Structure 1
């Protein structure tokens, strides 16, 4: 067996002196041509470990424990040594490719920082399956698909021929086709280059397909580690079983995901609407004279759930924006939340807006960082004059937080003080504040880890039963849509 390229023993860190350890007693060996998968819930320390392994400790942080890279001891605070390793010896792919790439620089301009010649740029793009023609090289990041952006990030990380690649959630926001392509590419790089790979992911399918070994983290500690097949198939740890049961299935899904199984509240049956919740005939959207979306027919009864799935660029989010009347569209017939919104003006349109709400993919950007939870939810109540006194406002905010399984004490917290799952539930509570009849969820779980995905899916199932809420659930995870949707 090859000697380890990277070896850790007893590694730990804390963000400031005297604080509790964020990571403790982390140990593993990683050889060339092998992949280590790092899996865990939000807040388990996955990304903290990944950034520590490229020397990006925040100011004031403390790190300890023995580490070796290519048989040389690691000094965790020697930034000069880290600058040599980063890029040259260790490549890194961040989770959000759109945020990591410069929005005003072309594909070619970004690759020019790392590669001097046009032939080297073409070779780098070819290796990750991207075109190298002049038209593609002129494009800006927002002009290429999510899968292409992620491949471009890989090309940049691999440009200097590193020995180790660390990929932090490289497939979390990609559709099934793009995710599978990235998995194939990582396997190819591992075998052909002999690349050592650390794959940080909440996507157990990706980890199972790519990783040779698995490190399962919880609250900064290793729960279990070993060969991937042994850890996932042996299921010797209760926490492993919990994660596996949080995963929805394509067929025969349970009524609720995860452990322990909390009984769903008794449903509150509402009277059916006189008109369908959603009715679409010949809906079309055009961008710059080109057709971006064409929907022949779509019908959805009150209280039902429609799943919308498709590859990147297939028009899923365009459909959501058209239903929300946030972009120009044409249709022979359009009923949304029981009403044709196209002729509505003034107070009638404002009332309709309250009936149709949306939950976006990234709660971190959907919530105002300067507003606490109470202000974010209260703003919706104030806009629609649904709480006329301060006492009624506080009471309603508490009710909404309880309805999404959050403690009312979180009302004074700001988004940065919440986990990813908590932020998404606050976004759902805000959408529910105006008592909508139709909720559109646009990739609402794609950036969440498997256990938090289960929480949000269970919550949406509960809300549907309790409030006869109609859902349009847009996603790229067919298993998740199979769990929540009545029709596709």
Structure 2
């Protein structure tokens, strides 16, 4: 039985764990890239200080051997590209970052840094003395260079009136000091290393304090429990969870159970605690209450618990499909990769580059990688919300029969009615805390068929707001890796118009959205806003990203809205008004961004965009992650703004239910081409 209490120390092994290896690889690549830029780009040496940040975070969060692994990997890459200068830059970053990270992790301060720097400086100085003793020719070359510099400086000083004696004294004194060169080199080494260490500590410790102050509250934590792995049957009794610095529970009280081999659907409104429940089921300790299991959680381990998340990009680590399936498995584990790929609909793609997979294919790959661990408990957290209808149907075909083909319990968190209906049982998280089985009348997101290309019969009024003419776009144009995203796009969007753009994953919808927002200049053709290039008017067309979290740049909700809209964060009234516009509680104004659900994040982005009164609004998958009530309320809000204030709205979506009134026009993209060209530009219905 597991109850709320302090976390146990993480289990240490001699070899690097998969998470440690992944972190070392990422941080090494980042540090090496910074070092190469600092060496290769003229007058960019100061950029090398940025390389201390990833190394510092690595030293703070992981073992010393992880930092050493990253240093070796990053140093070799930098050496191959930028030579010895790149290698030494990575080593310097690793030293400063490692010293700062270790000192902060152990709760020490400046005295520890000074002591460590003196020891490191003494070792460096002694090494330099020994090296110069052996390499006599290098020593003479260095000394001749020093002497030439001092002689030149003395010549400059001698030109100053009454400074001849000082110039002669400088030359003689330097010659005398040079006789005791071992002491000189040793002192220079100690002073240099100590000075660099103190400056690095002063700067990097402040950066790390701010970075470490940002809680990664939704992070999956590595399994810390010991003993036999047995995550099910699972029993939650009056479980509550409250995030750090929060004044209210994000979950609970919840009492529920998960039985072996059961397909359980978890539903509930945005903010009801579905993602928090996923964290508790995968091993996070609750604030209060008890979680009873027969054994260890075994997150990511054979026979334990596996999690498939909403954004599969965060789970794909292998460069090939087959590599990703077996990533992190213990050596010697026998896995039939081809059988697993065939089961999830990826037959014949074992050698495929993961970077070329669509969103639906990435989600299927994540499911295959999870099944490779033969989990007793598989948690799927809204895995269908970001993929097109074809990918969604394919994923549900895999998930719906999973418990019959594998000895696993499946917990599927979803907003969709047909996905919940496929489960053996449904648990609904209630907005006022708690959970209930099969709550009658609970609103769910309905599935809808793909709408036909349509236009309104009302003639447009006035000149078009957005006008695209012959727009084509090629990524990496002029290189062997060139890829055409759009070709020959022609249409216009008038004031007050509502347009739905639909297409499968990879059809070019997001590229088109970025061009219409002025964030990307098309390779061919023009995109005009009120008759002028939209790329010269960045900000006039507001764009809500598909991944809302990537658009939130401030730590708190009120600061984010004020920054996006361009007013002072102290203007509480405007913040509350913006939150009310998108149906959010004013109490969320002081909430940290990372404490919000995915749907709440999406609405905060929209609140900031609407508060600055954009000329047009482009929404990339605005309904993804929203519950039925939130989606309905958002659509009513946008419909009202379009009709009453003649707001121009362009929606890119895989979800179509309820969009008829907001978007009377529908455009279909297929392979970067408009499959059905519009015959008129719709106005207000």
Quickly name the TM-score band, shorter chain normalised: 0.7 to 0.9
User: Closer, same or farther in 2 for the Cα pair 1:184/1:26, shift >3 Å?
Assistant: same
Who is 1:22 aligned against?
251
Q: CA deviation at 1:134?
A: 6.1
CA contact (8 A) 1:46 1:200 kept: yes
Deviation string, structure 1 residues 422-446 (Cα, Å, up to 9, x no partner): 4333322322343222111111221
Kindly tell me: are residues 87 and 42 of structure 1, through their superposed partners in 2, closer, same or farther at Cα, counting changes over 3 Å? farther
The 2-side partners of 1:300 and 1:454 are apart by 24
Matched, 1:300 2:493: yes
**Does structure 2 conserve the Cα–Cα contact (< 8 Å) formed by 1:250 and 1:482?**
no
1:58-87 Cα offsets, whole Å, 9 max, x none, are 6xx34426x45xxxx45xxxxxx2338954
Structure 1 Cα separation of the partners of residues 539 and 338 of structure 2: 50
Match of 2:233, SS state, is: strand
* Residue aligning to 1:145: 358
Deviates more, 1:10-19 or 1:198-207: 10-19
**What is the distance in 1 between the residues matched to 2:550 and 2:561?**
15
Q: Are residue 203 (structure 1) and residue 381 (structure 2) matched?
A: no
Matches within 5 A, 1:47-58: 47-57=275-285
Q: 1:91 to 1:172 in 2, by over 3 A?
A: same
Measure, in 1, the Cα distance between the counterparts of 2:299 and 2:614.
55
1:312 Cα deviation from its structure 2 partner: 0.8
Per-residue deviation, 1:484: 2.5
Displacement, 1:31?
4.5
Check the 8 A contact 1:381/1:393 in 2, yes or no: no
The match for 1:100 among 311, 315, 325 is 315
Q: 1:478 aligns with which of 650, 656, 669?
A: 656
Note the C-alpha offset of 1:379: 3.4
Tell me if 1:123 matches 2:339. yes
Structure 1 segment 321-332 matched on structure 2, within 5 A: 321-330=514-523, 332=525
- Cα distance in 1 between the residues matched to 2:634 and 2:403: 35
Q: Is the 8 A contact 2:268 2:428 kept in 1?
A: yes
Aligned residue runs from structure 1 range 69-468, under 5 A: 73=294, 81-83=296-298, 86-102=301-317, 105-110=319-324, 111-114=326-329, 116=332, 120-133=336-349, 135-136=351-352, 139-140=353-354, 142-193=355-406, 195-208=408-421, 210-219=422-431, 221-226=433-438, 235=440, 237=441, 240=442, 243-244=443-444, 247=446, 274-288=462-476, 289-330=482-523, 332=525, 334-336=527-529, 338-341=530-533, 349=536, 352-370=537-555, 372-380=556-564, 382=566, 397=575, 399-406=577-584, 410-468=588-646
Asked if structure 2 preserves the Cα contact closer than 8 Å seen for 1:16 and 1:62, the reply is: no
Structure 1 residue 469: deviation in Å? Answer: 0.3
CA gap 1:282/1:151 in 2 versus in 1, 3 angstroms = same
Q: In the TM superposition, what whole-angstrom CA distance separates every residue of 1:90-128 from its partner, at most 9, and x where no partner exists? A: 3322222112333x7543443243275797333332222
- How far, CA to CA, are the matches of 2:569 and 2:514 in structure 1? 35
Shift of the alpha carbon at 1:466? 2.9
| Structure with greater contact order relative to length (CA < 8 Å, sep ≥ 6) | 1
Counterpart for residue 106 of structure 2: none
Q: C-alpha separation between the residues in 2 aligned to 1:21 and 1:433?
A: 28
- Supply the distance in 2 between the matched residues of 1:303 and 1:43 (Cα, whole angstroms): 32
**3-state secondary structure, aligned to 2:507:** coil
Query: Which of the pair has more CA radius of gyration?
Result: 2
Structure showing the higher helix proportion among its residues: 2
Indicate conservation of the 8 Å contact 1:421/1:456, yes or no. no
Cα distance, 1:463 vs structure 2: 1.9
After TM superposition, give the deviation of residue 415 of structure 1 in Å.
Answer: 1.9
CA distance in 2: counterparts of 1:26 and 1:449, whole angstroms: 22
Deviation at 1:249, TM superposition (A): 5.9
CA distance in 1, matches of 2:588, 2:242: 23
Q: Which has the higher strand share?
A: 1
CA distance in 1, matches of 2:308, 2:418: 19
The alpha-carbon distance between structure 1 residues 282 and 199, as it changes in their structure 2 partners (threshold 3 A), is same
Cα distance change, pair 154–403 in 1 and its aligned pair in 2 (3 A): closer
**Structure 1 residues 247-279: Cα deviation after superposition (integer angstroms, max 9, x where no partner):** 586699xxxxxxxxxxxxxxxxxxx86311233
- Cα RMSD of the aligned pairs, angstroms, is 3.6
Conservation of the 8 A alpha-carbon contact between 1:355 and 1:434 = no
Q: Measure, in 2, the Cα distance between the counterparts of 1:341 and 1:45.
A: 44
* Partner in structure 2 of residue 262 of structure 1: none
Flag the 1:185–1:393 CA change in 2: closer, same or farther, 3 A.
Answer: same
**Structure 2 Cα separation of the partners of residues 248 and 158 of structure 1:** 27
Label 1:404 to 1:24 Cα distance change in 2 as closer, same or farther (>3 A): closer
Distance between the aligned counterparts of 2:514 and 2:366, measured in 1? 28
Shift in alpha-carbon separation, 1:50–1:86, aligned structure 2, 3 A: farther
Alpha-carbon spacing, 1:412–1:49, altered in 2? closer, same or farther (3 Å): closer
Contact conserved, 1:354 with 1:435, CA < 8 A, in 2?
Answer: no
Superposed displacement of residue 150, structure 1: 1.0
The offset of 1:202, in angstroms, is 1.7
- TM-score of the pair, normalised by structure 1: 0.74
Contact 1:359 1:441 in 2 (8 A): yes
Partners in 2 of 1:326 and 1:174 — Cα distance? 23
Alpha-carbon contact 2:635-2:659 (below 8 Å) kept? no
Three-state SS of the structure 2 residue aligned to 1:484 is: coil
Pairwise CA distance, 1:203: 2.1
Deviation at 1:401, TM superposition (A): 4.0
Instruction: Report the Cα offset of residue 24 of structure 1.
Output: 2.8
- Kept in 2: contact 1:303–1:470 (CA 8 A): yes
